[in-house]
């Protein structure tokens, strides 16, 4: 019995990673954070816009990293904390 080969899909753009269409449009690479295959164009940009960041990180993981590393808002800093409890 032959099993069908399931194609992989890009996590960012949800398009298929087909060798016949993707190979000549930049290819694909694996994200070092989520370990998923994504199109080369779906990787986060580096310091120069046409070069990609090293280590390779997809746009979704980069947005998550930037959101998590943002400083706390001023409203949460105004809340007093209980001392000696």
Q: Give the count of alpha carbons within 13 A of 75, CB side only.
A: 0
Whose tokens are 């890009």? That residue is: 10
**What pLDDT, on the 0 to 100 scale, is given for residue 23?**
60
21-34 confidence digits (pLDDT tens):
666 667 888 899 99
What one-character-per-residue DSSP string does 21-75 give? HHGGGT-EEE-TTT--EEEGGGBPB-SSTTSBPSS--BHHHHHHHHHHTSPPPHH
pTM: 0.65
- Domains (range + CATH), the chain: 1-63 (3.30.40)
37-70 confidence digits (pLDDT tens):
888 888 888 888 778 888 899 999 999 888 887 6
Q: Does residue 19 surpass a pLDDT of 80?
A: no
């Amino acid at each position: 019995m032959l099993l069908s080969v399931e194609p992989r899909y890009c996590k960012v753009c949800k398009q298929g990673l087909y060798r016949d269409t993707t190979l000549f449009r930049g290819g694909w690479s694996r994200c070092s954070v989520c370990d998923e295959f994504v199109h080369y164009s779906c990787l986060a940009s580096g310091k120069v816009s046409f070069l990609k960041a090293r280590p390779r990180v997809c746009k979704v993981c980069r947005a998550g990293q930037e959101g998590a590393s943002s400083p706390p808002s001023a409203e949460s800093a105004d809340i007093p904390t209980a001392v000696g409890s």
